[in-house]
Chains A and B, each alone.
Chain A
Amino acid sequence: MTSIILTIAKQTYKATYSNKAALALTFLLGLSLVLATYVGWQNFKSQNDQRIHYKQMVRDQWLAKPDKHPHRMAHYGYLAFREKHELSFFDFGIESFAGVSVFLEAHKQNTVNFSEAGFSNGMLRFGEISVAMVLQLLVPLLIFFLGYNSISAERESGTLKILLCQNVSWRKLLWGKTLGIIGVCLSIFIPLILLTIFLWASLSDWNISTDSSLRLAILIAGYSVYFFVISAITVLVSAFQLSSKSALTTLLACWIFFMVIMPRITQAIGSRIYPAPSKIEFADSIAADISRQGDSHDPNDAHYAAIKDSLLKVHGVDDVKKLPFNYGGYIMAEGEKITSDIYSKHQKDLNKIFEKQNSITGFMGLLNPYLSLKQLSMALTASDFNTFIDFQNQAEAYRYQLAQKMNKLQIDKISNISPGENGKPLSISRSNWAEQPDFNYHFHTVGNMTTEQFFPLASLSLWLLITVGLLQYISKWIKTI
């Protein structure tokens, strides 16, 4: 039973490699994969090196600041750079469209700026060559070219009837052909995986973390399922279509529809159904909420007047200058707390809108395994939307902590009596600056990620089940002649 499947698989594998055009195509694709790996790695290295270089520069400059007022330091702020995950050389994901650096200062949340896309004059819009792109888009096309006539050619040459008379069932034939085609794909995919693992390991100086190994393992499993699904679909289409020509045109039409047209349309629909506010509307609604709560920069604000009164009462003094701590710092800490809370709430709502926009594409993964794999692959290589949002959140948390740290220094160490118009400005020792740690982004672990990626994982598994089921039980409906 299985030996027949294997014989057919071997036969298909050999036949494919005896076809010069197929061999050339496979070779070309293999070559482009090696190039994509190399260039992706270089790209990763040079961009990450730049970011680490500037990160170090920012840290050194921070530490080198002389004695000064802590609030000056809060405004001097920090620059955070988004580092790339070591696996991002495999899949660029949204890397090029997401900003790279963000300026973190007191009172103000800034945007993450300088995405590669912002420097692009449009060529980026055609796509980016990465290992993931070749595997997701081009390998299926290769599978279609290799397998469109796998059954229909047998039918056209009349060998199909003979095969089916000779103890070969439809089921064995379909499985054999599918495995043969997968074999061809794997013969380029496996060396590539090895190369990827090697590169990645050397990238991380042979310090392989279990988290990354797990990511890579799921990644390989995901792509293998994807190739199986595509190969099975190819063989099934070839079995159902009466001629090779119609099988080929059907497969090519599917490729175009599912991989070129559908992603754009689903994402456009998502943005249309769930419109996101523009930056000025976003800023305006935050400003409105803040002025409702109280504005620390406004001397006549009721909220802060109440705080002042209660402070005076508790400490039994009649002037803020007589308080045992720095009053200005206290008020600023309060202001920072209120504005950050409001900002974070709005940012959360905004991210929810974006998630809803993306959910249409996510949902369509049920109909389109390409979309499922794409999302899974981006998540596993930490080049996805969630990772970007996570960076924003960690940067904002750092910003808040920095601002409050400086407020605390001001409350504790700055005199309540201002030096007057011509006096020397108050300051504290520069030794305090080192207390503020450097900003380091921490990637989520793969555990968090798999719960987030439940939907793509489920839909890929579903596709696997469906195609296995079809290969097993569909023979009743296929016409032999």
Chain B
Amino acid sequence: MKNSTYHLEFKLFFRGSSAWIGIAVLIITGLSGLYFGKSFIANQKVVIEKAAELQTKNTLNNIDHFGKDIGLVFFHNKFSVASVPEPWAAFANGQRDINPYLISVTMLALEGQLYDTDISNPVSMLFGNMDLSFVFIYLFPLVIIAFTYNLLSEQRESGIWSLLKSQTNQVTKVLWQKLLVRMAAIFGVAFLLLAVAIFYLQLPVDQTFFAVLSFIAIYLFFWFAISFFFISLGKNSNFNASALVAVWVLMCIVIPASLNLILTQRYAVPEALQNVINQREGYHEKWDMPKDVTMKPFFEHYPQLKKYPFPKDLTFSWYWYYGMQQMGDDQALESRAAVQKKLAERQYFTNIAALFFPAIQVQLGINELAGSDLTTHLGFQLAVRQYHEQIRLHFYPAIFQNQDISSTNINSIGLKNFEAVKVYGWHRLLSLLVITSMLTLIAMTNLKKINQLK
């Protein structure tokens, strides 16, 4: 008996064209999201492979051109680090279009090189990436709204409601059944898309998968809960549709955009511009100063390099030159720390805001899992910093002693790969769960009164 009413509800639901249109929209946009998301990341992988080839080619070129002067080789030679996208980056491209995924630096002052962007089309960045996470965060809620907004109101507007009330005393159960049928349809499509994603993007079914799955599942539940809440108010279809779309616009556009405006206003980062100026001055002014001004702090920074004699009498030496470059970085230390502090404050602000707004929370959570967020990029910058330092300390002795370039292992230095440490923001799920269950509870209390509705 019970099964057969579900069966009937299913039939009823799928007989309407709106059900099929909704499902078709999700599947088509979902598949195109998968396609564009994958091709975007595939392109980055190709470039990283090419970068590995070019690293060797360019090094050999530089040795060929400037090999007689070891200091000049390192003046020109770039060392590249690649932020290798992990499989989930194709699912959520995140900030990978904005932040460079390949940073090439010479041994000169790092602060003047680290922030160089990739060449990219700002219009494409403005419109944003088309990936599967976009479909889950933006479009699934809209289809959920389309499927559920008239769940109760339609019955009342078509006159079925009074008929139904006279025949059964369990009208809430009928509503539940309708809701469950729609949930089954939405989750069915969601799981189908995720299953396709596993094969198409070659995602491992591991902890990350279950974390993403949890984010998406709770997020979809959240939108059902919102919709359910508006249903429980017992207003007409037009009110429900308008109100739900307005809530979507608020949740997915207006509130995050307003918060972002506050963020940019309150945590502007002029220190970044100051940092460039500090680095540039810190280095260039040393040309016009006695060599001691450079070398004293340099040896304080690197006491271990003191053992290589400094050619005081030469007008120019690479020893001095690299020392001056080092001063550029050292004098930008304070402004650099200020930038980092600002970015940390921004992250904190966003994390707090995300507690109250599920769309932000899910986006942050999924980008974090996909390694396409700002924190991952800052980790990448840090890795470049460490690598740069390592390269400097490795080659300084050879340069300072004016050795032959063939005595170094510069040939064998290839492309360095950076892989981010996985972060599992399970705690982010908590706020989603709390908001969703609160909404559901309120809706359920409201629903108790619907028997009195006419």
Contacts and interface: CB of A to CB of B under 8 A. Distances in A.
Interface of A: 21, 25, 32, 39, 42-43, 46-47, 50-51, 53-54, 57-58, 61, 65-66, 68, 72, 75-77, 79, 81, 93-94, 96-101, 103, 110-129, 133, 137-138, 141, 145, 148-149, 244-245, 248-249, 252-253, 256, 260-261, 263-268, 270-272, 275-282, 284, 295, 297-298, 350, 354, 357-358, 361, 385, 388, 419-425
A54 B273 contact: yes
Given A54-B273, A120-B374, 15 more contacts: A51-B273, A113-B115, A115-B117, A121-B364, A122-B363, A122-B374, A248-B241, A248-B242, A264-B127, A264-B129, A265-B130, A268-B32, A268-B124, A279-B119, A357-B121
Please list the 8 inter-chain residue pairs (A to B) with the smallest Cβ-Cβ separation, ordered nearest first: A126-B256, A267-B127, A121-B374, A268-B130, A278-B47, A94-B122, A97-B125, A97-B122
Nearest to B101: A278
A284 B55 CA distance: 11
Nearest to A141: B249
Interface in B237-266: 237-239, 241-242, 245-246, 249, 252-254, 256-261, 263-265
Given A123-B256, A141-B249, A276 B120 contact: yes
B43 interface: yes
Interface residues of B, number: 95
Contact of B268 (A47, A94, A115, A385): A47
A337 B19 CA distance: 64
Contacts of A248: 238, 241-242
Interface in B19-54: 29, 32, 36, 39-40, 43, 47, 50-51, 54
A276 B259 contact: no
Nearest to A35: B258
B117 A422 contact: no
B119 A124 contact: no
Interface string B353-396: 10000011001100100000111000000000000000000000
A126 B363 CA distance: 10
B270 interface: yes
B127 A98 contact: no
Contact of A141 (B40, B245, B273): B245
Contact of A145 (B39, B242, B270, B314): B242
A333 to B, nearest CB: 21
B444 interface: no
A260 B127 CA distance: 10
Interface stretch (B134-142, B159-167, B174-182, B301-309): B134-142
Contacts of A244: 238
A267 B360 CA distance: 23
A253 B47 CA distance: 39
30 contacts: A39-B261, A50-B273, A61-B281, A81-B273, A103-B112, A112-B117, A114-B273, A116-B264, A120-B98, A121-B350, A121-B373, A123-B360, A126-B253, A126-B257, A129-B258, A133-B257, A141-B245, A248-B242, A253-B146, A261-B139, A265-B29, A265-B32, A268-B130, A271-B40, A272-B36, A276-B120, A280-B50, A282-B119, A357-B124, A385-B121
B360 to A, nearest CB: 6
B47 A281 contact: yes
A98 B98 CA distance: 10
Nearest to B68: A299
A419 B315 contact: yes
Nearest to B113: A110
Nearest to A281: B50
A298 B65 contact: yes
A74 to B, nearest CB: 11
A288 to B, nearest CB: 10
A6 B213 CA distance: 56
**B121, B142, B239, most chain A CB atoms within 10 A:** B121
A138 B249 contact: yes
Contacts of A266: 127
Contacts of A265: 29, 32, 130
B399 to A, nearest CB: 17
**A120, A125, A249, most chain B CB atoms within 10 A:** A125
Interface of B: 18, 29, 32, 36, 39-40, 43, 47, 50-51, 54, 65-66, 80, 94-95, 98-100, 102, 104, 112, 115-130, 134, 138-139, 142, 146, 150, 237-239, 241-242, 245-246, 249, 252-254, 256-261, 263-265, 268-270, 272-274, 276-277, 280-281, 284, 287-288, 313-316, 342-343, 346-347, 350, 353, 359-360, 363-364, 367, 373-375
- Chain A at the B interface: mostly helix, strand, loop or mixed? helix
A69 B368 CA distance: 50
Contacts of A123: 256, 259-260, 263, 350, 353, 360
A18 to B, nearest CB: 17
B102 A280 contact: yes
A361 B277 contact: no
Nearest to B342: A119
A387 B257 CA distance: 24
A450 B112 CA distance: 38
A122 B104 contact: no
A137 B253 contact: yes
A76 B121 contact: no
A2 to B, nearest CB: 32
**B54, B116, B245, B257, most chain A CB atoms within 10 A:** B257
Given A68-B288, A121-B374, A43 B119 contact: no
Contacts of B39: 272
B359 to A, nearest CB: 7
A56 to B, nearest CB: 11
Contacts of B95: 117, 120-122
B315 A354 contact: no
B271 to A, nearest CB: 10
A94 B126 contact: yes
B364 A58 contact: no
Contacts of A253: 146
Contacts of A270: 124
A299 to B, nearest CB: 9
B287 A276 contact: no
A46 B315 contact: no
A277 B54 CA distance: 14
Contacts of A361: 123, 127
Contact of A354 (B104, B121, B313, B350): B121
Contacts of B138: 260
A252 B253 CA distance: 16
A81 to B, nearest CB: 7
Contacts of A32: 254
A51 B276 CA distance: 13
Contacts of B350: 121-123
B129 to A, nearest CB: 7
B126 to A, nearest CB: 5
Contacts of A127: 253, 256-257
Contact of B54 (A43, A280, A385): A280
B36 A268 contact: yes
Contact of B119 (A98, A111, A122, A256): A111
Given A110-B116, A113-B116, A113-B117, A385 B47 contact: no
A278 B257 contact: no
A93 B125 CA distance: 11
B217 to A, nearest CB: 21
Contacts of B281: 61
A266 B130 CA distance: 10
Given A46-B265, A47-B268, A79 B276 contact: yes
A101 B241 contact: no
B324 to A, nearest CB: 11
Contact of A423 (B249, B315, B367): B315
Nearest to B264: A116
B264 A43 contact: yes
B371 to A, nearest CB: 13
**B122, B263, B374, most chain A CB atoms within 10 A:** B122
A265 B263 CA distance: 28
Contacts of A297: 65-66
